[in-house]
Chain A
Amino acid sequence: MNTADTFIEQLSHHLKQFSGVQRQDILDEIASHFEAGQNDPQLGSTPEERKTNLMNEMGSPSELGQGLRNVYRPNRLVDFLLVFIPVYLLFPLVVPLLLLSGKTQIKWEHPATIYIYFPLLNVFAGILDPGCALPADLADVQPAALDKLERRPKQPGVVYRSAWAGVCHGTLPV
Chain B
Amino acid sequence: MTSIDQLRKGSTPVLLMAVLAGGRMYGYQIMRECENRSQGYFTMTAALLYPALHQFEQDGLVVADWQDGPGKRRRKYYTLTDAGRKALTEHRSTWEEFTAHLFQALNTPAPEER
Contacts and interface: CB of A to CB of B under 8 A. Distances in A.
Interface of A: 25-26, 28-33, 35-37, 39-40, 42, 57-60, 63-64, 67-68, 70-72
A68 B46 contact: no
B46 A35 contact: no
Nearest to B31: A57
Given A58-B47, A59-B48, 7 more contacts: A32-B74, A35-B73, A36-B28, A39-B70, A58-B46, A64-B50, A72-B58
22 contacts: A29-B27, A29-B50, A29-B75, A30-B46, A30-B50, A32-B26, A32-B28, A32-B73, A32-B75, A33-B27, A33-B28, A35-B71, A39-B70, A40-B28, A57-B31, A57-B43, A58-B45, A58-B46, A59-B46, A70-B51, A71-B51, A71-B54
Grouping DSSP codes into helix (H, G, I), strand (E, B) and loop, the A interface class, with mixed when no group exceeds half, is helix
Q: Which 8 A-B pairs have the closest CB atoms?
A: A59-B47, A67-B51, A59-B45, A32-B73, A36-B28, A64-B47, A63-B47, A58-B46
Interface string B16-59: 00000000001111011000000000011111101100110010
A35 B71 CA distance: 7
Contacts of B48: 59, 67
A66 B17 CA distance: 22
Contacts of A32: 26-28, 69, 71, 73-76
Contacts of A67: 47-48, 50-51
Given A31-B73, A71-B55, A36 B47 contact: no
Contact of A68 (B29, B54, B70): B54
Given A67-B50, A72-B54, A29 B32 contact: no
Contacts of B54: 68, 71-72
Contacts of A70: 51
B72 interface: yes
Nearest to B58: A71
Nearest to A60: B47
Contacts of B76: 25, 28-29, 32
- Kindly name the residue among A36, A37, A58 whose own CB sees the greatest number of chain B CB atoms within 10 A: A36
B60 to A, nearest CB: 13
A33 B46 contact: yes
Contacts of A30: 46, 50
A57 B29 contact: no
Contacts of A25: 76
Contacts of B29: 36
A53 to B, nearest CB: 11
Contacts of A33: 27-28, 46
